[in-house]
Amino acid sequence: MGLIQNSIENVGIATISVTMKPEITYYVQVPRSAHIRFPLGNPIGEANKIDDQKIVVHDLLRLFEIIQLPGTIFELPYRWKRKIESFQGE
Amino acid sequence: MDINQEELDNKIANWLNLEAQSEIPFTIDYNFSSDKEEKFARWVMMASSVHSEFKFSMNDKIAWHQPLKPLALSKIGLVTTAGVRLRTDTPYLTNCEDTDSSFRTLPSNPNAQYQIDHLHYDHTAADLDINCIFPIEPLCQLRASGIIGSVAENHIGMMGCISNTSKLVNESIPKIIDILLSQQVDYVILTPG
């Protein structure tokens, strides 16, 4: 994803990526990245929680203004409280 | 999921304060554990064992475009490497050693029927609600409330962990960039699986 992000940024479109593995993002080097401590498969949050998902997307957009230095990995302070298994059957 | 807006606001304030006081470039806000090299090496070994052609690629230079346009006047696009496509579109190849480096366009329609082909992560949640990985509905709602100006007509879906980067760089990326530029997209959010 880092190669794609850098290429898009290179043509004048500002980009931010979500990462769940910041140690990899750190080595790839991308313009802006938000570390979200959610499980794989849920970068934007839980299923059918549109209000929470909207907060995450809005916060990602707010980071365009906040992050001023290339390579920043910003850790968004969300906490995951549920187990992945709990998605099933609900 | 627990979102504490006050905590985030405090964090941003502290971060900006730290950045202002720093004499060296304050480029990172991740408190890396001392074993980050080990974690990274483990991931490279894992990826190499799955894909014989795997080669870790890093960017030589970080690209940077300083965004100046207010969000309320801007067009936002999405790129997801979670293996998302329209159900009616051609499936991604998942049974070859090289990960499929092709892409699919995803229309701006929260009610479209999506399918996920990726095998590297549990997409149970996203199968129920695609917005977990491809947040098209939240984006449309942010447009409706005036926080962003508009949503791109077409977004990009592709696979992640692509081992054959030369095909990706030479074939897919130029086409993806054309699609984004032709729609005059100002900002892009990229989401993994």
Q: What is the mean pLDDT of residues A37-49?
A: 92
For residue A3, the chain B residue with the least C-alpha distance is: B59
The predicted-structure confidence for B83-115, as pLDDT tens digits, reads as follows: 999 999 999 988 766 678 999 999 999 999 999
Q: Is residue B61 part of a domain?
A: no
The structural domain count of chain B equals 1
Q: How many helices (H) and strands (E) does chain B have?
A: 6, 7
The structural domain count of chain A equals 1
CA distance B63 to A6: 5
Q: What is the mean pLDDT of residues A69-81?
A: 85
Q: Are B105 and B178 in contact (CB under 8 A)?
A: no
pLDDT at B24: 36
Q: Calculate ∠ Cα B57-B60-B66, nearest 5°.
A: 115
The predicted-structure confidence for A53-69, as pLDDT tens digits, reads as follows: 999 999 999 999 989 88
Q: Is residue B37 part of a domain?
A: no
Domain extent, residue A6, equals: 2-79
Q: Does the beta carbon of A82 lie under 8 angstroms from any beta carbon of chain B? A: yes
CA distance A16 to A25: 12
Q: Are A48 and A23 in contact (CB under 8 A)?
A: no
- Which chain A residues are Cβ-neighbours of B121 within 8 angstroms? 40-41
Q: Is residue B108 part of a domain?
A: yes
Q: Calculate ∠ Cα A28-B46-A76, nearest 5°.
A: 45
Q: Is residue B7 part of a domain?
A: no
Q: Is residue A87 part of a domain?
A: no
Number of inter-chain CB pairs under 8 A, A vs B? 243
Name the residue with tokens 């346009």. Answer: B69
Q: Are A61 and A15 in contact (CB under 8 A)?
A: no
pLDDT tens series, chain B, 193 aa: 555 667 656 655 665 555 555 443 334 444 555 666 777 777 777 777 766 666 777 777 899 999 899 999 999 999 999 999 999 999 998 876 667 899 999 999 999 999 999 887 888 999 999 999 999 999 999 999 999 999 999 999 999 877 778 889 999 999 999 999 999 999 999 999 8
Q: Is residue A39 part of a domain?
A: yes
Q: What is the mean pLDDT of residues A34-41?
A: 91
Q: Is residue B39 part of a domain?
A: no
Q: Is residue B86 part of a domain?
A: yes
Domain extent, residue B122, equals: 71-191
CA distance A50 to A55: 9
Q: Is residue A75 part of a domain?
A: yes
Q: Does the beta carbon of A31 lie under 8 angstroms from any beta carbon of chain B? A: yes
- Which chain B residues are Cβ-neighbours of A57 within 8 angstroms? 135, 138-139, 142, 189
Q: Is residue B128 part of a domain?
A: yes
The yes-or-no verdict on residue A87 having pLDDT over 80 is no
Q: Is residue B43 part of a domain?
A: no
The yes-or-no verdict on residue A39 having pLDDT over 80 is yes
